[in-house]
Structure 1
Amino acid sequence: MTNTSEKNTNNNRITTALLLAAGTGSRLFPITKDAPKCLTLVNEKSMLARLVTNLTAQGFTRLIIVTGYKQECIVDFLGNQKEGLNIEYVHSPLYKTTNNIYSLWMARNSIKESFVLIESDLVLETSLLTNMVYPDRMAVAKMQPWLNGTTVTINNQNKVIQFQAGTTEAYSETRYKTVNIYSFSLDSWQEVSKKLNQYIEEGSVNSYYETVFSDLVDEQKLQLEAVSFDKKPWYEVDNIEDLAEAEKLFPVIVEEEEIEYALY
């Protein structure tokens, strides 16, 4: 996979992020009984706090969060500003009966610029976002036996040419797992918004937004460049087992002052 950094310029660097955090996190129950999944602690620091740190370190200034389940916990935790990020909220009242396609659709009127879309159940090394802060990119990782879910095929120009729904069937070509981080130019977002409207008007509120991206790629209305997440740690936390794996990858960092104090 090619290195995209040579084409980066500060002129088109993205500073707006959209975080989807509406779900109930039922697979992490009872941890999510009183708080949304994104506030689950991974070695003493919540996934949401980690993502805010990731974003501010990469120069983001605006964060829109689509909330649903236990939204007040997120608002209480972040407020309207955190670590230099201006934070806005879009509440999805139908979070119990809709999927992430609806959450993304809910944000359609709040974003009029290029942005990075990111799921709130990801834990990742900050430097992985370095090549995601430019428009029309998609984070991927080489498919492994223990991964599941949507995959994509990439051509020799490092462009995503096809989405595949999660399957256990054997395949011959090299596939990559979606990492649920995307960046969009304003033009691409307008195409996505039109397709989202079409799905929602048809009542497809329980689809995944990957269906929309897949349609647009097939129609050649969306071109996404793949960014590899293979070389540094990241993890998507859906259940207790995932949380245990994430804690192995992101251990507690003991500050030097704490070490010195412990020695006395």
Structure 2
Amino acid sequence: MIGLVPAAGAGSRLRPYTDTLPKALVPVDDERTILDITLRNFAEVEMRDVAIIVGYCADAIRERKTALEKRHGVTLHLVDNPKAETWNNCYTVWCARDLFKEGVILANSDTIHPASVERTLLEANAKLTAAGQQPGVLLALDTVKKLADEEMKVTVDPEKGARRITKLMDPADATGEYIGVTLINPSAADALASALQATFERDPQLYYEDGYQEMIDRGLRIDVQPIGQVDWVEVDNHEDLARGRELACRY
């Protein structure tokens, strides 16, 4: 299993930091970036091969590739997204579809969280597999946080798994928030690639989470794993960045 980081977007709400850098390279703890924390997390759970999907300001990541590999003891593979500045991240994740068959943990490039999230997903996946349930896709879910309109909300049926994943949901109807970390087993590779393609062909501005909903609508199962009481933040704007800098020094 390898790490996967979609880091192709422009992050326009974080300008001027993102005038010349992708969001993943915005500093959050002295010189440490969001990407540093993500790579550290992967290394902590012994995932030493990591693919980064690049697009906007891709050269900034290319220039740092060797230094990042040495700092975190990982091997980085860069995947190009030629439509990064015009299409949304559903297409971005689809660009790495050939890697799904290796099994991946996808971690959004703007999510600051501890390695306990990856560890929780791996342990839950192992338990499901041992129980003969053959999981395909497993989402990290925050069931503790109070939700509002902006969050990527999920409803879960205990018997059937995730049923809806969307921002366009009454928070009172949601089981929790998807935090931007997914374990994808090789068994789900083809189904996920097909669902993502159908989604961006319907509308290039859709999110990869809309691809997850496409899988659910096709009758395919997506499981969730609560992460417990974990402090984390998705860094979309300057307020989020300030919160991220409070957390980053702990991780």
> Shorter-chain TM-score category?
0.7 to 0.9
Map 1:35-74 onto structure 2 (within 5 A). Answer: 35-44=21-30, 45-74=32-61
C-alpha offsets along residues 203-224 of structure 1, whole Å, 9 cap, x if unaligned?
A: 5221111111112123221332
- The 5-angstrom pairing of residues 158-177 of structure 1 reads 159-167=161-169, 169=170, 171=172, 173-177=173-177
Q: Return the alpha-carbon distance in structure 2 between the equivalents of residues 49 and 239 of structure 1.
A: 19
| 1:181-196 alignment, distance < 5 Å | 181-196=181-196
More helix by share: 2
Q: Residue 17 of structure 2 corresponds to which residue in structure 1?
A: 31
Length, aligned pairs only = 235
Post-superposition offset of 1:229: 2.9
Q: What's the counterpart of residue 206 of structure 2?
A: 207
Letter of the 1:154 counterpart:
V
Q: Point out where structure 1 has 5 or more consecutive residues left out of the alignment.
A: 1-14, 254-264
Structure 2 segments unaligned to the other structure (5+ residues): 126-134
Q: Is the 8 A contact 2:91 2:197 kept in 1?
A: no
- Alpha-carbon distance in 1 for matches of 2:8, 2:59: 11
Q: Distance in 2 between matches of 1:232 and 1:176?
A: 13
8 Å Cα contact 2:25-2:35 kept in structure 1? yes
Q: In 1, distance between residues paired with 2:232 and 2:171?
A: 25
TM-score where L is the length of structure 2: 0.85
Distance between the aligned counterparts of 2:198 and 2:174, measured in 1? 32
Letter in 1 for 2:24: C
* Structure whose CA Rg is larger: 1
Residues 212/78 of structure 1: CA separation in 2 closer, same or farther (3 Å cut): same
3-state SS, counterpart of residue 6 of structure 2: strand
Check if 1:91 corresponds to 2:92: no
* CA deviation vs aligned residue, 1:94-137 (integer Å, no higher than 9, x gap): 11100001101111234422111111011111122112233631
The separation in 2 between residues aligned to 1:99 and 1:116, in whole angstroms, is 20
Contact 2:55 2:81 (C-alpha < 8 Å) held by counterparts: yes
Deviates more, 1:115-124 or 1:132-141: 132-141
Indicate conservation of the 8 Å contact 1:54/1:126, yes or no. yes
Distance 1:174 1:25, change over 3 A: closer
2:147/2:171 contact within 8 Å kept: no
- Give, as a single letter, the amino acid of the residue that structure 2 aligns with 1:41: P
Shifted more, 74-83 versus 119-128: the winner is: 74-83
Aligned equivalents of 1:247, 1:170: Cα separation in 2: 27
Structure 1 length-normalised TM: 0.81
**Do the aligned residues in 1 keep the contact of 2:154 with 2:162 (CA within 8 Å)?**
yes
The aligned residue for residue 6 of structure 1 is none
Q: Is the 8 A contact 1:16 1:115 kept in 2?
A: yes
Whole-Å separation in 2 of the counterparts to 1:122 and 1:164:
18
Write out aligned runs for 1:4-19 (5 A).
15-19=1-5
Counting aligned pairs with the same residue, the percent is 24
What is the rounded CA distance, in whole Å, between the counterparts of 1:25 and 1:163 in structure 2? 22
Query: 1:188, 1:222 within 8 Å by CA — same for their partners in 2?
Result: no
